[in-house]
Chains A and B, each alone.
Chain A
Amino acid sequence: AQSVTQPDIHITVSEGASLELRCNYSYGATPYLFWYVQSPGQGLQLLLKYFSGDTLVQGIKGFEAEFKRSQSSFNLRKPSVHWSDAAEYFCAVGAREYGNKLVFGAGTILRVKS
């Protein structure tokens, strides 16, 4: 079965500093990997996704993520964080044989210090 682990419950970074949010997945074949962001009172917004090909994927709002098969990881990065990036971030995994079902991690809450 698929599973996703986000080891960090909370992360605090200063505005302008770089950011890396960790995500590890468990799945036998090549997974479909996603990062979503959720602001208070809002639904989930897709930041980026990986299906195949180039292991470094670019997303919206200046985010990128790198798929590392050997480490079963899909970490999210941003070179310079803005105060508006404060939100909760979710990593998710899907698979063709599971249809549209996504399995989410528990999330990482990002706080940005000014």
Chain B
Amino acid sequence: DAGVTQSPTHLIKTRGQQVTLRCSPKSGHDTVSWYQQALGQGPQFIFQYYEEEERQRGNFPDRFSGHQFPNYSSELNVNALLLGDSALYLCASSIAGGPYNEQFFGPGTRLTVL
């Protein structure tokens, strides 16, 4: 089992551009959550996908959007990039049902916005 995988590992974009990050969940998991981890901070919840729908959303603007595919993989899209979007983006997968189901995290995608 490869666990949670994310691509790409690193990404450099310029302000105003758009970016797509990808996540494949751990085998058997049906729920994907995305977190943003700015330098020196803890991860912040962006949103969660289950059954191809956004189920929960954190305090992030509409520039952040996502998608979940029938195979449970997920994408995070960020439009009109700002310098402040530079961060490590973490994907976590779990089985639906609540926080007592362990979330497994991927290694993250490091996004740098210039």
Q: Which residues of A contact B (CB under 8 A)?
A: 4, 6, 32, 36, 41-46, 49, 51, 90, 92, 94-96, 98-107
A101 in contact with B102 given A43-B90, A106-B40, A107-B41 (CB within 8 Å): no
A96-B98, A100-B98 known, 10 other contacts, Cβ within 8 Å: A4-B42, A32-B99, A42-B107, A43-B4, A43-B108, A51-B100, A90-B42, A99-B56, A101-B33, A101-B56
Write out the residue numbers on chain B whose beta carbons fall within 8 Å of the beta carbon of A45. 105
A10 to chain B, nearest CB (A): 11
Chain B, 35-46, contact with A by CB distance < 8 Å: what is the 0/1 string? 100001111110
Closest-by-CB residue of A relative to B45 is A101
Main SS class of interface, B? loop
Closest-by-CB residue of B relative to A41 is B107
In chain B, positions 77-114 with a C-beta closer than 8 Å to chain A are: 90, 92, 94, 96, 98-108
A103 in contact with B45 given A41-B107, A43-B107 (CB within 8 Å): yes
Are B42 and A106 in contact, with the CB atoms below 8 A? yes
Write out the residue numbers on chain B whose beta carbons fall within 8 Å of the beta carbon of A49. 100, 102
Q: How far is the CA of A47 from the CA of B106 in the complex (A)?
A: 15
Are B107 and A98 in contact, with the CB atoms below 8 A? no
Closest-by-CB residue of A relative to B4 is A43
Q: Which 8 residue pairs are nearest across A and B when measured between Cβ atoms?
A: A94-B99, A104-B42, A43-B105, A44-B105, A32-B99, A43-B107, A101-B45, A104-B43
